Structure 1
Amino acid sequence: MKKVMILIAGLVGLTITANAQQLAASKVPSAVKTAFAKAHPDLKSVSWEKEKTNYEAGFKLNGKKTSELYTLNGMMTESEVAIMPTELPAEARNYIASHYKGVKIKEAAKITRTNGEITYEAEINGKDVIFDAKGNPVK
């Protein structure tokens, strides 16, 4: 039983590491750090992760958990701001209520891409359910 638990813990750790890797600021390309500093000159506390080929800056802005995704050359592609589950569009809340009866939304976020496209994300049972700006499920 002990070996099974160790194996499961290892697999969970590997899965988390594969999706996003914590990075020291010294490992973040200067173009990314420069773009972030230009957008947020007063922010001093930021954590960095690597997401596939992009870099994610995590920070608090106006008291809300926020993150921004940057390409290798420092172009921001999207921002994500934590919201209350009640702030999800009504259609999204209705979808969750009918497809995930009795399940609580752990976290919710509003994602804004630089092209203006807005999506919403709800974490349910350990997975993210994505909705378009009107609250229709995307994935």
Structure 2
Amino acid sequence: MSLGADGPPDGPPARVPADPLRIRSGVRDGHAPVLVVEAEGELTILTSDQLREHVLADIRDLDGPPRVVLDVGEVGFCDSSGLNALIVLWKSAHRDGGELVLARPGRRFRTIIERSGLDRHLIAHPSQEAAVAALTAPGQP
């Protein structure tokens, strides 16, 4: 049996590496601390657990109601598993009296959010600064 370019003839087929998801996070201190999470790569069934667990761990480390900015400006693709992770994170922030917003969603990402109806809950801002400002405005949790 020959697999050609897909892999060696006597070994397993070569795997195309999935675009990994890279996650960076940190807290911006001010009169109201905000957790800023930057995601880069693809948010799929292979990576959504990674994002969810990373952000939930960071939320647990916060004092007070969680204010979370999820910067998705470098996320090239999001599937239904990725959307589910966003819902879980949004619900977690709200359950604890806080808020989760998106920053820098690209056109494709915004379209996915809008078509799923999640744009009513996942509020998007054009920049991290705008998202942080929205979470630290008077009247926010």
TM-score category (smaller protein):
under 0.3
Query: More relative contact order in 1 or in 2 (CA 8 Å, sep 6+)?
Result: 2
TM-score by length of structure 1 reads: 0.27
Identify, as 1 or 2, the structure richer in strand: 1
Superposition TM-score, scaled by structure 2 size: 0.26
1 or 2, which has the higher helix percentage? 2
